[in-house]
Structures are given as C-alpha cells and as structure tokens.
Structure 1
Amino acid sequence: MNDMNMKHHMWMWFHTSIGDTVLFDFWTVNSVGGMILSCALVFLMGVCFEGIKFLRWRVEVSKALTPPTSMTMRYVDKLRSSHHLIQTFLFGIQIVVSYLLMLVFMTFSIWLEIFKEKKAKMDMPMMKMYFHFRIKEYILFKEWLPNSTTGYIFSCIAIVFIAIVYESIRYARAVAFKHAKENQPCCAADLVRGNGNSTSTHRSVPGAEPPECYCGTNDMQVKHSIFHNSTLAKKNLLNRYHFLQTAMYFIQAYMGYSLMMVAMTYNVPICFSLLFGHVLGFLFLAPLLSFHEHEKVGDCCS
C-alpha cells in the first residue's frame, strides 16, 4: 500500500494539528466541539484509571482488617477466594484502561485535536518499527531532528539528562511523602509515648516500610481512621502536600509517557541513552530511599 494514499498516518512528534484518529477508526473529530468532547472523555479515562487503583487499595485494606479464618491457606483456596477474584477483575480493567491511555498518548496530539487528512512529505523520515542506528530521527518534537553527528550526540546527552530529571522527580515525591508522614500528629504522639506494636515492629525489621498512621487501638477505630481520613477527606484534598504531590505526579506521568515515546523510536543509541539516564539517576538517588518508598512513587513506566 502506498503511504501517500493512506487514510491515517502516525505522527512522530508532539503537535497541535488536526487530523488524528483516537483509538478507533470512527473516533474522528473535525470540529472544536468534538475536540473538547474527546479531551473530556480522555480526562474521564484518566480519572477512572486512578479510581480503580484507589479501589484496589481499599479492597486490600479491607482484607487486611478482616480476621483470617485460618493461619494458612492452600493455593487453591486463595485462587478461589472472593478477594482474589475481585482484585483480578479490577486489575483486568486497570490494565485495559492503562493501555488505552498509552495508545491515546501515542497520537502525539498535545490537545487531542482530531485533524483533517494530510499527505506525508517525501522527505519526512518514516518511522521504523525495529531497532536501527540512523542519525536523522524525530525525537518528541518536529523541530527536534538531528541532521548531523554532533547534533545526534547532543540529543543523546539531552535524553540522558531528561531521564535523570525524571528519576529526580520520583525521589522528590518520595521525600514529600516521607515528610508529610513525619508531620502527622498521631504518629508523633505515638513515637513520644512509645505506644503501638507496629512502630516497634518496624524498628526491628531493617528496610521495612514505615507503618501507616492509625490513632485507633482496635479494628473499628482503625477502619474509621482509614476510610474517614482517606484522600477524599476535605483536609487531605486541601493539604499543601497533596497539591505538591499532584503537581509532581503530573510532571512525572507526562515525562514517563514522553520517555516511553522516545524508546519507541527504536533508535539504539537513543534507547541506550535513555536507559543510561535512568540507571545513573537510580545509582545516586536509590541509596537515599528504601525499597518501599521507591516503589510507592512508581508510575506506568516504572
């Protein structure tokens, strides 16, 4: 099939042009109103994705607060348990929504504008779907197109720097999480009084995740602490740490998806630069975090 006559083509840089098709052949918007509606639908998909993650956490918390029927469970019993089936169902929905969001991002449309059909230029380097070593490669933006070896080398260095910044943002989020937890009043009171077995248990297990801060002393009080002091509580939604985390999470998610698109150039030196930046950032920042703190600030690409 002649590429010049294709109904749709895939962009290789971020753009605000119109002409993209989102997910399905019938999802084509040729008006401003249609673009706004498409952005709203994608926004709801993102909210749904985060809501499913939160719901899976609530299900896990409910299980942890339910007294076990026996000390040990067979694999078959775990496999058939209602908790496992619910988590499997929610996980399946989460995976579907996450892949749909990834495919939406692959349109490279900044505003998700759906544009009219355009013909590809003959001098535009076509996207290779296999690993290669060419120098002339679009990187995220139309203007970012190395045309010489020097420009290509500086592009690789820039990608290393971007990956390091991405890891630094993850570290900053972990520090903000830790600082917010240390400033919780009940945790400070428990440490002063020496109350709670969870705190002493944490001290005795090197590298263990800091315990959740629950002021209650029995299961009912713990449940009240979890479900009424959740992220939906007004005091948490208006908390300055929450606003900071939200801003950093937006930057982290956008950079994570962007770095994923960089990897999809299939350009070997560029991909190695990307990996080197991640590893270099991890090398210097990981010793400052515990394993659980590092995993807590992960996203779609980490």
Structure 2
Amino acid sequence: MMKMYFHFTNGDLILFKNWKCTTTGGLIGSMFAIFLVAVAYEGCKYLREHLYQKQPRTSLSMWNGHHFIQTIFQMIQMWISYCLMLIVMTYNVWLILAVVVGSGVGYFLFGWKRISAFDTTDCCQ
C-alpha cells in the first residue's frame, strides 16, 4: 500500500523495483546516494554554464561540438531533476531531507562560481 503522507518509515521503493529500503542501514545508504545525486545535479547546472562561457563566440552555431555537449548535459540534468522529483514524491521525510541537503551542499560548492544570479535552467521557475 502506498503511503501518500509524510512519513519516517522504511519500505519505500526508490525509482527502481530492486531499490527498496527495508532496513535502517539501507535507508541511510539510500540517503547518501540521493544526497550525491542532488549534489551532482547542481554540478551539472554549473558545468553547462561553464561550457557556455568557454564557448568561442565565433562558433555560435547549432552544429558545433560545444552545443552538442551542452545538449547532452541538458538531457542529463533533466533526467536527474525528474528522478529527484520522484524521490520526493515518496513522501519519505528522510529521502526528502537527503534531496534538500544535497541540493544545498551542491549549491554551496558550485553556486558561488555562477555568473547569473538567477537560475533560468530549472523547469520549476
């Protein structure tokens, strides 16, 4: 039975059929993995902007290597963001905390290097 309320218990499926937290150790390990994915999401956003800034202005064409790499990072960023959203939708407070803290640490590590003050790459803004 799905829990559609905030809870602190084990037993949630996380993204894949075989990723189920049935023990406290499994939950802690999952929280750590989710924390790292949230940090990686913020790093991916920074990397895309960094690649854009390093792109030679003479090659502002859709058919150059820089644009192709940025497109790949955009797809990775979107995939990670939707996975994090689905993790939050488990309503498990511990998993949500891992997403929020991971995002905060990722922003702390990468956000100060950004040029733009506001992130226009997130789908929720």
Fold conserved between structures, TM > 0.5:
yes
Q: Which residue in the other structure is 1:129 paired with?
A: 4
Q: Which residue in the other structure is 1:150 paired with?
A: 25
Q: Which residue in the other structure is 1:282 paired with?
A: 107
| Residue 52 of structure 2 corresponds to residue 258 of structure 1 | no
Number of residues of Structure 1 aligned to a counterpart in Structure 2: 125
| Residue 8 of structure 2 corresponds to residue 184 of structure 1 | no
Q: TM-score, normalised by structure 2?
A: 0.92
Q: Which residue in the other structure is 2:41 paired with?
A: 166
| Residue 62 of structure 2 corresponds to residue 237 of structure 1 | yes
Rounded Cα–Cα distance in structure 2 between residues aligned with 1:290 and 1:155:
33
Structure 1 residue 301: deviation in Å?
4.3
| Residue 99 of structure 2 corresponds to residue 295 of structure 1 | no
Q: TM-score, normalised by structure 1?
A: 0.40
Deviating beyond 2 angstroms after TM superposition, the runs of 4 or more aligned structure 1 residues are none
**RCO greater where, 1 or 2, for CA within 8 Å and sep 6 or more?**
2
More strand by share: 2
Rounded Cα–Cα distance in structure 1 between residues aligned with 2:35 and 2:23:
19
In the TM superposition, what whole-angstrom CA distance separates every residue of 1:30-61 from its partner, at most 9, and x where no partner exists? xxxxxxxxxxxxxxxxxxxxxxxxxxxxxxxx
**Runs (5+) with no aligned partner, structure 1:** 1-125, 186-234
Measured at CA, do residues 252 and 284 of structure 1 come closer, stay the same or move farther in structure 2, by a change above 3 Å? same
Rounded Cα–Cα distance in structure 1 between residues aligned with 2:5 and 2:70:
37
Rounded Cα–Cα distance in structure 2 between residues aligned with 1:255 and 1:301:
14
Identity of aligned residues (%): 35
Rounded Cα–Cα distance in structure 1 between residues aligned with 2:18 and 2:34:
15
Identify the match of residue 138 of structure 1 among 13, 19, 29.
13
Larger of the two Rg values belongs to structure: 1
Q: Which residue in the other structure is 1:121 paired with?
A: none
